[in-house]
Amino acid sequence: MDHMPGLHDVTPRQQQIMEQASALARVLEARVTDNDLTSVFPMENFRDLHESGYLRLALPVAHGGAGANVFEMVLAQEILGRADASTALVCGMNLSLMGRVLDNQAWPEPVLAEICQTLARDGGTINNCVTEADLGSISRGGLPAMTAEATDGGWLLSGRKIFVTGAPALRFLATATVLPPSDDHPTGQLAHALVEGGTPGLSIVDTWSGALGLRGCGNYDVVYERVFVPAHRIVEALPIGQHRRPQGGSAWALPLAAIALGIGQAACDTACHYANNRVPSGLGQPIATQPHIQNWIGQMDMQLRAARSVLHETARACVAGKITGAAITPAVAAAKYLCTNAACAVTEIALRVAGGFSMTRALPLERYFRDARGGLFQPPQDDLALMMIGRVAMDAEKARNPA
């Protein structure tokens, strides 16, 4: 079981899940350097994840899963993130979507059962496909340009989505689209179409190779050319003009924050190993003996401990029902903000510890530095997170001291 500073009271089930993640992490880590160098999407990783049962962990027991809760998956995802942040991100997106749907009973039960059982049996993942070139981030509002044309038994979708994480591994693509006006809905509807991967008219375009970081996450464009989706797989339809569904309001975004923490911890571990073993001839002893190196390592360790403490406390509280409803959104935003920014800060300090060697592929530090930045652009982004947290703090003060 991987060591996590400050982790106490691990149950046998949690330990088993962490050990499962650790075994997979060793397999993924052996491939990650080459995959990063070539920007290859590692389909073999997802075969291993499926065969090991990892992808089924958080699915309901009734539908072939293990019913893992959000805290258990936070523990697992940090371990996976230490080894291969790109693959962990694809898993995290899968968890974020399915966890939200399960917690909120957002889909009809027959559809939920169909999707869960297919994922459990056949493998692959599911992810939201919402971002478009002109729309930008869906979390900032706006309607997609994706169109849906009625046809016998369902709809034909046309359009293009960008930044579809894990595109080659997706068994289902939860595609945001606009349904045209009807007698019942004169303004039209915003809905998600659960498109099955491999459906005729669906194509993937590699627009991610050579990206700054997370090069193996398959963050590709997906093109829809009159792609058929059955009528029963249109879910979460909402009349346009009504209040939009909140973004990032699920505790199941926390496993994504855990990935950033894993990147930061990997950087800290690597920097410690380097410091303990680097003996310059002019010094005659490891650089770990030098006060400025100890200071840098101390900064790294404390930032990670603080972020992990908030992340775990938030996840445990959500599982226990101590944080519920509208309070989940700012709590998750705070944990995500702390973990992401800790990872960015720690991976930068790690470069200082290793000096010029950090810029080379002799060490994985340059990859950690690049991969950590990816979290900055996942919702809620820093400005929205801080605005939300600030409003909550001011509302709390007002409640304590009414005018």
**In 300-335, which positions are buried (b, 16+ CB within 10 angstroms) versus exposed (e)?**
bbebbeebbebbbebbbbbeeeebeeeebbbbbbbb
What's the chain's length in residues? 403
- Tell me if 214 is assigned to some domain: yes
Mean pLDDT per 10-residue run, the chain (403 residues)? 73 97 98 95 98 98 97 98 98 97 95 98 97 75 89 98 98 97 92 97 97 97 98 95 62 97 98 98 96 98 98 97 93 97 98 96 97 94 95 94 87
Query: Helix 12-38 to helix 85-104 angle, to the nearest 10 degrees?
Result: 130
**Cα–Cα distance, 80 to 2 (Å, whole number):** 10
Q: CA 213, 216, 221, 226: dihedral to nearest 10 degrees? A: -160
Give yes or no: residues 84 and 192 share one domain: no
Give yes or no: residues 315 and 356 share one domain: yes
**Angle, CA 70 vertex, CA 61 and CA 42 arms, to 5°:** 85
The two three-digit tokens of residue 305, written as one number? 């401990």
- Strand ranges in 231-321 using DSSP code E only, listed in sequence order: 234-239
Q: Residue 285's CB: how many other CB atoms inside 10 A?
A: 10
- Tell me if 4 is assigned to some domain: no
Q: Which residues lie across from 165 on neighbouring strands?
A: none
**Cα–Cα distance, 39 to 42 (Å, whole number):** 9
Instruction: Specify the CATH number for the domain of residue 298.
Output: 1.20.140.10
Give yes or no: residues 75 and 194 share one domain: no
Residue 256 in contact with residue 378, Cβ under 8 Å? yes
Give yes or no: residues 82 and 169 share one domain: no
Residue owning tokens 């049996």: 121
- Tell me if 246 is assigned to some domain: no
Residue 146 in contact with residue 159, Cβ under 8 Å? yes
**Cα–Cα distance, 202 to 164 (Å, whole number):** 13
Among 204, 239, 274, residue at a domain's last position: 239
Query: Which pLDDT score is estimated for 140?
Result: 60
Q: Which of 307, 308, 302, 300 is nearest to 352 (CA)?
A: 300
Among 92, 124, 156, residue at a domain's last position: 124
Residue 387 in contact with residue 380, Cβ under 8 Å? no
Q: Which of 219, 217, 218, 222 is nearest to 203 (CA)?
A: 222
The two three-digit tokens of residue 276, written as one number? 């303990």
Give yes or no: residues 256 and 362 share one domain: yes
Q: Which of 394, 274, 268, 250 is nearest to 335 (CA)?
A: 250
**Angle, CA 102 vertex, CA 99 and CA 106 arms, to 5°:** 115
Give yes or no: residues 63 and 181 share one domain: no
> By residue range, what is the domain housing residue 338?
251-397
- Give CA separation, 264 vs 14, 95, 253, 334, in Å: 22, 21, 18, 17
Give yes or no: residues 233 and 350 share one domain: no
Among 124, 141, 175, residue at a domain's last position: 124
**Angle, CA 288 vertex, CA 285 and CA 289 arms, to 5°:** 60
Instruction: Specify the CATH number for the domain of residue 204.
Output: 2.40.110.10
**Cα–Cα distance, 268 to 244 (Å, whole number):** 41
- Tell me if 6 is assigned to some domain: no
- Tell me if 385 is assigned to some domain: yes
Q: Which of 322, 315, 303, 308 is nearest to 254 (CA)?
A: 315
Give yes or no: residues 173 and 257 share one domain: no
Q: How many domains does the chain have?
A: 3
- Strand ranges in 231-272 using DSSP code E only, listed in sequence order: 234-239
- Tell me if 3 is assigned to some domain: no
- Tell me if 2 is assigned to some domain: no
Q: Which residues lie across from 235 on neighbouring strands?
A: 192
Give yes or no: residues 137 and 114 share one domain: no
The two three-digit tokens of residue 37, written as one number? 């160098």
Query: Which pLDDT score is estimated for 403?
Result: 77
Give yes or no: residues 95 and 184 share one domain: no
The two three-digit tokens of residue 394, written as one number? 């001011």
